[in-house]
Amino acid sequence: MWNDTPVPDFILTGLTDSEEIQLVLSVLFLLIYLVTVLGNVGMIMIIHLDVQLHTPMYFFLRHLSFLDLCYSNVITPKTLGNLVTSKKSISFTGCFTQMYFFILFGGAECFLLSSMAYDRYVAICNPLQYPVIMSSRLCSSLLTGTYMIGFVDSSVNMICMSRLHFCKSIVIHHFFCDTSPILALSCEDTFYTEIMAFIFAGSTLMVSLITIYLSYMSIFCTILKIDSTLGKQKAFSTCASHLLGVIIFYSTMIVTYLKPTKSYSLGKDQVASVFYTIVIPMLNPLIYSLRNKEVKNAFNRVMQKRGGSKVLRKQ
């Protein structure tokens, strides 16, 4: 049980044993990672620099980009390192640290998405009271709550996992340290740990999903009451990007986590895991920028200001 000997490093099997496929994946993941970093940092900078985007909606969007950036940095660099080198190991401490921050940022993103849904509900269903309801104080409280929930979720998970003994193997059949493949290495009965993890993961997903569902049911009912087609399209366009991001994020999370650990399927779960750990952090800034005229206009304004400042400096 590694009690009287140094704790060995874990071995991550990764996504494939084929060197050719590993090379292709390393190039693909590197490109995705670069787009993720540039896209999310760019989104944060544009929202910060453009005064017209200093609204509750973009306040939450800026922090979504921050979470996606952190989320990606927890998983992708180590995955890239394992793909391009023969050393597939990760230390015991490094493994649990990776899992801790992965759960923290994932849980926080769930409730941030539900806060964004509530923001859209107020904007469409109570437009006249929107500035009063979505005050800076409420926005800060909602944001603090999302990080606190992520912190509690990850801390409880780590406390439960730290009480287990691992003696079966040091090989993790995954490309990062996730709960299910690590529980499979325990030499103890993990039933209660699985139940606790399922309860916290399930409650995080379900509470945030219920909030999003109720918000969008009210939004759709309000949109249907609008007489003009143009008014309906304009109202729906304000929440279409967020709804698309929610569907992509939650569909893969539910498939992976809302099921018993014994039903863990290496191939299927790895595909889903690649999607929500590596691909989705890249998609979010693209979804919110390419489908959003305000972000495009803000980008043009920022570029014009920078271009104007350069001209003044030359003069």
pLDDT digits (tens, 9 = 90+) for 133-191: 999 999 999 999 999 999 999 998 888 888 888 776 788 888 999 888 888 888 888 88
Q: Specify the pLDDT at position 253.
A: 77
Q: Specify the pLDDT at position 270.
A: 78
Q: Specify the pLDDT at position 3.
A: 43
pTM beyond 0.85: the answer is yes
Please, are residues 315 and 113 in contact by the beta-carbon 8 Å criterion?
no
Would you place residue 6 in the very low, low, confident or very high pLDDT band (cuts 50, 70, 90)?
Answer: low
Q: Give the Cα separation of 175 and 79 in Å (integer).
A: 6
Exposure string of 292-312, with b = 16+ CB inside 10 Å and e = fewer, is bebbeebbebbeeeeeeeeee
- Is it the case that residue 18 has pLDDT exceeding 90? no
CA-CA distances (angstroms) from residue 301 to 17, 51, 63, 306? Answer: 48, 10, 21, 9
pLDDT in tens, 259-279: 555 555 555 667 778 888 898
Read off the pLDDT of each residue in 72-89 and give the average, rounded to a whole number. Answer: 89
Domain locations in the chain? 10-308
Tokens linked to 158? 């780590």
Q: Which of 102-116, 195-209, 285-299 has the lowest mean pLDDT?
A: 285-299
Q: Give the Cα separation of 63 and 115 in Å (integer).
A: 11
Q: Specify the pLDDT at position 266.
A: 55
Q: What is the CATH number of domain 10-308?
A: 1.20.1070.10
DSSP bridge pairs for 166: 186
Q: Specify the pLDDT at position 290.
A: 66
- Is it the case that residue 2 has pLDDT exceeding 50? no
Q: Where are the alpha helices (DSSP H) in the chain?
A: 19-49, 56-84, 92-125, 130-133, 136-162, 179-183, 191-224, 229-257, 266-274, 280-290, 293-314
Q: What percentage of the chain reaches a pLDDT higher than 90?
A: 40
Would you place residue 24 in the very low, low, confident or very high pLDDT band (cuts 50, 70, 90)?
Answer: very high
Phi first, then psi, for residue 229 (nearest 5°) are: -65, -40
Q: Specify the pLDDT at position 260.
A: 54
Q: Give the Cα separation of 311 and 315 in Å (integer).
A: 6
Q: Which of 3-7, 26-30, 57-61, 248-252 has the lowest mean pLDDT?
A: 3-7
Q: Specify the pLDDT at position 291.
A: 63
